[in-house]
Amino acid sequence: MSNPFENAMMQLKRATAVQPFPEAFMKQISSPNREVRISIPVMMDNGTLQVFEGYRVEHNNARGPYKGGIRFHHDTDINEVKALAFWMALKCAVANIPMGGGKGGVTVDPKTLSKTELEKLSRGWARGMADILGPKKDVPAPDVNTTPEIMSWMNDEYMKISGETTLATFTGKPLDKGGSEGRGAATGLGGYYVFDALRSKYNIAEGASVVIQGFGNVGGNAAEIFLAHGYKIIAMSDSKGGVVNEAGLDIKALEEWKKSNGALAGFPGSRTVTNAELLELPCDVLIPAALENQITATNAGSVKAKFILELANGPITPEADEALYERGIPVVPDILANSGGVTVSTFEWEQNLKGEHWTEADVNAKMKEILDMESGIIYDKSVAVNTDLRRAAFIVALERIAKAMGY
Ligand code: GLU
């Protein structure tokens, strides 16, 4: 498995080969400002003590407080969190929100924990990191396998330790605990806005066929939103595998099926595929919405999609980027495509700081305005410097960060 931070640095190299930046800036942006590792002891339900490893990487805060989610996953390690923190710095700059980039994680399969154990682990992470967090310092949020409830436990723990009665240290909280309208669906909806702003430039028609890898918050919401806008979802998967129906999947019924059967396989009218097969299905739009390193040098030549929208972070390796570019398959990069999530997180932070509560219509309209504009800026940059959308998005983000750092 390739190292995500090395891949991220390779992406940086590819982008800055198209448009160079000052050497001193390159040195600074290539390493995180701070990496924190903690041990989180949790008394398990069976009376034994287990110690989990937790991380927070603060990459860059030139544009504002560190911002980015916390991931609970058995494969999470410091290199993954470092890559994700770097991408967050670029993502916040792409969305032009007043935030820097950070990311957190715990190496754990949360499905193996009881609810009590999960709460103890979440509170333990917030306790261990409390010194470096705060509305003006570092503002975490959900990521893979972390939920609004986890954010409310963490924020509660932070308030107890710091003595500050602020809701603005964590975003992605439940609505009745200071959360924002629209945050739950924001990454999927933002992905749709970015897609819709760019699709006609690449001849993707309304109603096109869509394949989605991932059935978490992002993949699930994206499926419902694309379907509601008249697109045909022909395949979806979760970590166990996927199902295909070329006539189109009924997403609500599929969600019900997954809930009662614990997996997608066997869904009436569909055939089963592996996650690897799903990525190679003929379709108009492929949406990786799970984990990194899914499209690599090995399978990039077999991708049959006409257009790729990255809702996961880092699903395509730099070698695969090169192969897809040569094959003329456009890729909307993660740092633009999934920036709706952190954009609405920033609205949540702003509402918490001001003691306001905005309507869902207001939240979505503000997000759409930002994403339409930034999609246009990045598309124009890709044309101006004759490169792909990832390198163009990197260049736009780096220009903004460099400016904030005084370069
Ligand atoms: N974890 C999400 C991401 O990768 C959201 C981060 C946030 O809302 O701060 O963009």
Return the HEC string of 72-109.
EECCCCHHHHHHHHHHHHHHHHHCCCCCCEEEEEEECC
Give the closest residue (by CA) to ligand 1 atom 10. 342
Q: Which of 109, 101, 186 is nearest to 144 (CA)?
A: 109
Q: Which of 368, 5, 333 is nearest to 192 (CA)?
A: 368
CB 188 within 8 A of CB 366: no
Domains belonging to the chain, first-starting first, are 33-177 (3.40.50.10860), 186-337 (3.40.50.720)
Q: For residue range 86-137, list pLDDT tens digits in order.
A: 999 999 999 999 999 999 999 999 999 999 999 999 999 999 999 999 999 9
Active-site residue identified among 67, 91, 103, 368: 103
CB 174 within 8 A of CB 152: yes
Give the closest residue (by CA) to ligand 1 atom 9. 68
Question: Whose structure tokens read 């920036």?
Answer: 339
Number of helices (H), then strands (E), in the chain: 14, 12
CB 70 within 8 A of CB 143: yes
Pairing of strands 49-60, 34-43: antiparallel
Rounded to whole angstroms, the Cα distance separating 49 from 41 reads: 7
Cβ of 345 below 6 Å from ligand 1: yes
CA 306 centroid distance within chain: 22
Rounded to whole angstroms, the Cα distance separating 286 from 280 reads: 9
Rounded to whole angstroms, the Cα distance separating 151 from 156 reads: 8
Distance 267 CA to ligand 1 centre (A): 31
Mutate to test the pocket of ligand 1, among 88, 99, 151, 183 (most ligand atoms within 8 A of CB): 88
Which secondary-structure segment (H or E) carries 331?
strand 331-332
Distance 110 CA to ligand 1 centre (A): 19
Distance 260 CA to ligand 1 centre (A): 29
Predicted pLDDT at 1: 57
Helix (H, G, I), strand (E, B) or coil at 67: strand
Joined together, the tokens standing for residue 30 give 């290539």
Question: Whose structure tokens read 């333990």?
Answer: 124
Q: Of all atoms in ligand 1, which is nearest to the CA of residue 99?
A: 9
Q: Is 32 left (phi over 0), alpha (psi -120 to 50) or beta?
A: beta
Rounded to whole angstroms, the Cα distance separating 116 from 336 reads: 36
Kindly list the strands in the beta sheet with 101-107, ordered across the sheet, starting from the edge strand earlier in the chain. 34-43, 49-60, 101-107, 66-73, 138-142
Predicted pLDDT at 2: 79
Q: For residue range 20-49, list pLDDT tens digits in order.
A: 999 999 999 999 999 999 999 999 999 999
Which secondary-structure segment (H or E) carries 195?
helix 186-198
Active site residue 103: yes
Mutate to test the pocket of ligand 1, among 143, 349, 352 (most ligand atoms within 8 A of CB): 143
Counting as low any pLDDT under 50, the low residues of the chain are: none
